[in-house]
Amino acid sequence: MRIKILGSAAGGGFPQWNCGCRNCNGVRDGSIRARPRTQTQIALEANPEYTLRTHWTLIGASPDLRSQIVADPDLRPFRHTNSSTPIYDVFLTSADVDSLMGLLHLREFQTFKIFSLPAVRRILAEENSIFRVLARAQPAVQWFSIPLASHAAWPKPLESHEPPRLICRAVSLGGEYPDFVGEKLRRELPPEEAVVGLALEYREKRLFIAPSLSGRNPQWKKWVESCDLVLIDGTFWSDDELIQQGRGKKTARQMGHLPLAGPAGLLEQYPYESRARKILIHINNTNPVLDEQSAQHRAVLAAGFEIAYDGMELTL
Ligand SMILES: [Zn+2]
């Protein structure tokens, strides 16, 4: 499985258009050592046996998706076709604007599959009619449900004669539905479907993806322990980061993100036993780890984490 990080920042990107924080100003004027980043977008190449063509899966659909696809030669239409794409499917982890707005970039009469929890589909279908543009393709974009795992167990291994395929489980992470979801619908939706992580397996290699980890449901730790690679929430360094910088009134935890530092933060809670390669993703522009000369940057590296950047490529 090949994994590409097409975007690694949280919502707003880095720098964010209207943000004058130390990091955003610093990356604009070159006074800090940091890389600009687009909004979080992951792509996986996991080819099923039935096709000789490359087969890419998008994890999330970022607001920057059009430019992220255009910038990557692997995601161009197949040669000698008038209309095609190696992108076959999109897996959604929540109904957050930053994780699905990019679906609108994929509206150009292209058929593909969307995998999500039923709640995310209902939010788009019942309250956000603009997403009906996806139904204009012939045949229309198809929706499928991702099975929600009740406990940390991988499906049984494939028999040797079975073709390789991408296996996915959704892991409830205990987050909340976005503010834009109407009261009536919100009351009907199951809380466990609001924000999920994805446990993916392909050719016996396992990957766990959780760009929004509230920490309210400890189930994620079990999955992390059984994976080879983990892409996990690096949104905020400290719980009061936005308040300190005058950029918001909510704490990281109130926004559904476990901060990296502090008591019971991600660095402290991360399973000690895990041998998986661990990479922070979805990094907010205010996070001091973005400054490559900061003490916080050094601290996460010393704790064994890597920090995702746009263009990072991984193989499993
Ligand atoms: Zn900023």
Q: Average pLDDT of 52-81?
A: 94
Q: Which ranges of the chain does DSSP label H, i.e. alpha helix?
A: 22-29, 65-70, 97-100, 118-127, 183-188, 219-225, 241-244, 266-269, 295-302
Q: Over the stretch 73-89, which tens digit does the pLDDT of each residue have?
A: 999 999 999 999 999 99
Measured in angstroms, how far is the CA atom of residue 287 from the centroid of ligand 1? 8
Average pLDDT for 265-286: 96
Q: Classify residue 248 by burial, with Cβ atoms within 10 Å: 0-12, 13-18, 19+.
A: middle
CA of 127 to the centre of ligand 1 (A): 31
Calpha distance 102→59 (Å, rounded):
11
Average pLDDT value over all residues in the chain: 94
Q: How far is the CA of 100 from the centre of ligand 1 (A)?
A: 22
What pLDDT is attached to residue 18? 96
The full DSSP string for 72-101 is: -GGGSPPTT-SS--SEEEEE-SB--HHHHG
How far is residue 38's CA from residue 72's CA, in Å, rounded to a whole number?
A: 14
Distance CA 46, CA 1 (A): 5
Predicted pLDDT of residue 215 = 94
* Residue 164 clears pLDDT 90, i.e. is over it: no
Are the C-beta atoms of 106 and 86 separated by less than 8 Å? no
Q: Which whole number is the average pLDDT over 268-288?
A: 96
256: left (phi over 0), alpha (psi -120 to 50) or beta: left
Tell me the CA–centroid distance for residue 70 and ligand 1, in Å.
Answer: 26
pLDDT at 240: 97
- 171 - beta bridge partners? 197
Q: What pLDDT is recorded for position 123?
A: 97
Q: Tell me how far CA of residue 284 lies from CA of 161, 288, 308, in angstroms.
A: 45, 9, 12
Residues at Cβ < 5 Å from ligand 1 ion? 19, 21, 24, 285
- Distance from the alpha carbon of residue 286 to the mean position of ligand 1, in angstroms: 5
> Residue 209 C-alpha to ligand 1 middle, in angstroms?
25
Q: How far is the CA of 22 from the centre of ligand 1 (A)?
A: 7
- Ligand 1 centre and the CA of 91: distance in Å? 28
Phi, psi of 290 (to 5 degrees): -70, -25
**pLDDT of 50 above 70:** no
Contacts of 124-127 with CB under 8 Å at 24 or more apart are 124/95, 124/100, 126/185, 127/180, 127/181, 127/182, 127/185
Distance 165 CA to ligand 1 centre (A): 40
pLDDT for residue 156 = 77
Q: Does position 51 have pLDDT exceeding 90, yes or no?
A: no
Q: Round to whole Å and give the CA distance between 255 and 235.
A: 10
What pLDDT shows up at residue 108? 87
Percent of the chain residues topping a pLDDT of 70: 98
CA atoms within 13 A on the CB side of 41: 30
**Cβ atoms within 10 Å, residue 273:** 8
- Cβ atoms 211, 93 nearer than 8 A: yes
**Residue 244 alpha carbon to ligand 1 centre in Å:** 12
Nearest alpha carbon to residue 38 among 2, 75, 58, 11: 11
Q: Please tell me the distance from the alpha carbon of residue 37 to that of residue 22, in angstroms, as a whole number.
A: 15
- pLDDT, tens digit, for every residue of 212-248? 999 999 999 999 999 999 999 999 999 999 999 999 9
> Taking the model in full, what pTM does it have?
0.96
pLDDT at 153 over 90: no
Residue pLDDT, tens place only, 300-309: 999 999 999 9
Give the confidence band of 34 by pLDDT, cuts at 50, 70, 90: very high
Region 153-167: mean pLDDT is: 79
3-state secondary structure of 114: strand
